[in-house]
Amino acid sequence: MNQTTSYGDPARYVTHLHVAEDCLDLPCTQEIIARAGLPVTVVGERGVPAIEGDYPANLTSGKHHLLLCRNRGAFFKPCPGTREYRCCNYQVLNIGMNCPMDCVYCILQAYLNNPWLSFFVNIEDLFQELDQALDTEPDRFFRIGTGEFTDSLALDNLTHLSSRLVTYMAGRSNAVLELKSKSVNIGNLQSLAHRGRTLVAWSLNSPPIMAREEIRTATLDERLEAAARCAQWGYRLAFHFDPIILHDGWEDGYRFTIDRLFAAVPAEAIAWISLGALRYLPALKQIAATRFPRSRFFYQEFIDGLDGKRRYFRSQRVAMYQTILGYLHRYAHPRTCIYFCMENDTIWREVFGFIPEERGGLPAMLDRAVGGGECA
Ligand code: SF4
């Protein structure tokens, strides 16, 4: 069940722009208004778009609405990992909230409480904050991602933020940026002097999961074609098999995707590949059941993890990881770092035969991989 019908640019799901009054005159706001050609409503300084219905039932209609506003909090923060599971010490650059695509398992449904999308247009403040963080710790190496509270590229044809970020990162020796997406909006990345400081990453899954549970995302073939083009433009790549979901024929499904991945993309261009089995906040199950009544995967058996999230039993996680790792090892370049996102040492040892601490820790392993060295 390899989906072949393309939705196209997910930004076309946005049908209405809302602009916070105090941002109306910002150049970034004016550029987005001009590119979008959509009806615009100006809202008061702290006003919000009026979307009918209650959250989260109104998320489907809320995703038609994009609010351009100021980020009043910090742009730059550590990723919220937990002590119990190995985290990779990632830094989140918060460019906006929510996403025009709609994955059944999307954790944002349970994290956020607003149905609309937002994009922060005070980007001069964003770059000032980045300058300050990177200048304050010149000896530290930062891996930065914009794909934590939104998709890194889903709105890029409207915002053009990626080209500014890539150009900025090209001048920074102590950081790399990962742009993570399920769209193929890569047009703005072409012809940039990125100097290897930006990686372009895609989440991948088994074809039936992509087709059934990832609404308005790019097809597998589209994602891999886009990745191949980015590799031709000299970008390093990354892939995330996350969330890995048990379903009928999962072995064949993940093997199919991995076969296609390495047929499309040069193995040596891939800096890292992460694996993460499905985990979710208990509240997400109810939200997804209401919004996507035909989805069944939340009705499997799970245990409560130490971080309050539900996970598959350890034996199931190990079996899934060992199988998928076996497929990856048939093709993966020895310098590609294959790692777990949020797993414990027991699972690391059982699947990889070592724990990150024995290789200097997961952050150091990934830092070595992005520098072109052996990660483990
Ligand atoms: S693409 Fe990512 S951010 Fe968007 S709905 Fe899917 S999981 Fe959520």
Cα of 363 vs centre of ligand 1, distance in Å, is 24
Lowest model confidence (mean pLDDT) among 29-33, 44-48, 204-208, 267-271: 44-48
Is the pLDDT score of 105 beyond 80? Answer: yes
CATH numbers and ranges of domains, the chain: 70-370 (3.80.30.30)
Mutation to probe ligand 1, out of 99, 185, 284 (largest number of atoms < 8 A from CB): 99
Residue with tokens 């930062």: 142
Using CA atoms, how far apart are residues 91 and 366, in angstroms rounded to an integer?
A: 13
Binding-site residues, ligand 1, Cβ < 6 A: 99, 101-103, 106, 108, 150-151, 182, 217
- 8: confidence class by pLDDT, cuts 50, 70, 90: very high
Is the pLDDT score of 132 beyond 70? Answer: yes
- 50: confidence class by pLDDT, cuts 50, 70, 90: confident
Of all protein residues, the one whose alpha carbon is nearest to atom 2 of ligand 1 is: 151
Cα of 336 vs centre of ligand 1, distance in Å, is 25
Task: Report pLDDT for 286.
Answer: 95
Of all protein residues, the one whose alpha carbon is nearest to atom 8 of ligand 1 is: 106
Q: Among the atoms of ligand 1, which is closest to the Cα of residue 99?
A: 4
* Percent of the chain with pLDDT strictly greater than 90: 88
Rounded mean pLDDT, 61-80: 92
Who's near 87: CB < 8 A, 6+ residues apart?
A: 79, 81, 342, 362
If 0-12 CB within 10 Å is exposed, 13-18 middle and 19+ buried, where does residue 111 land? middle
Is the pLDDT score of 77 beyond 90? Answer: no
Of all protein residues, the one whose alpha carbon is nearest to atom 7 of ligand 1 is: 106
| Bridge partner list, 124 | none
Mutation to probe ligand 1, out of 108, 118, 178, 181 (largest number of atoms < 8 A from CB): 108
Task: Report pLDDT for 85.
Answer: 66
Rounded mean pLDDT, 238-259: 98
Q: Are the CB atoms for 127 and 77 separated by under 8 Å?
A: no
Using CA atoms, how far apart are residues 55 and 37, in angstroms rounded to an integer?
A: 28
- 45: confidence class by pLDDT, cuts 50, 70, 90: confident
* Percent of the chain with pLDDT strictly greater than 70: 98
243: cis peptide before it, omega within 30°?
A: yes
Q: Among the atoms of ligand 1, which is closest to the Cα of residue 181?
A: 1
Mutation to probe ligand 1, out of 97, 98, 102 (largest number of atoms < 8 A from CB): 102
**pLDDT tens figures, 336-371:** 999 998 899 999 999 999 999 999 999 899 989 888
**pLDDT tens figures, 82-97:** 556 666 778 999 999 9
Task: Report pLDDT for 143.
Answer: 94
Q: Among the atoms of ligand 1, which is closest to the Cα of residue 105?
A: 7
Is the pLDDT score of 292 beyond 90? Answer: yes
If 0-12 CB within 10 Å is exposed, 13-18 middle and 19+ buried, where does residue 4 land? exposed
Cα of 103 vs centre of ligand 1, distance in Å, is 5
Cα of 182 vs centre of ligand 1, distance in Å, is 7
Using CA atoms, how far apart are residues 58 and 241, in angstroms rounded to an integer?
A: 29
Task: Report pLDDT for 5.
Answer: 87
Task: Report pLDDT for 2.
Answer: 72
Using CA atoms, how far apart are residues 184 and 182, in angstroms rounded to an integer?
A: 7
Distance between first and last Cα of the chain? 35
Is the pLDDT score of 79 beyond 90? Answer: no
Q: What rounded mean pLDDT belongs to the chain?
A: 94
Is the pLDDT score of 317 beyond 70? Answer: yes
What kind and span of H or E run contains 103? strand 102-103
Task: Report pLDDT for 83.
Answer: 59
Cα of 374 vs centre of ligand 1, distance in Å, is 31
Cα of 252 vs centre of ligand 1, distance in Å, is 24
Using CA atoms, how far apart are residues 48 and 300, in angstroms rounded to an integer?
A: 38
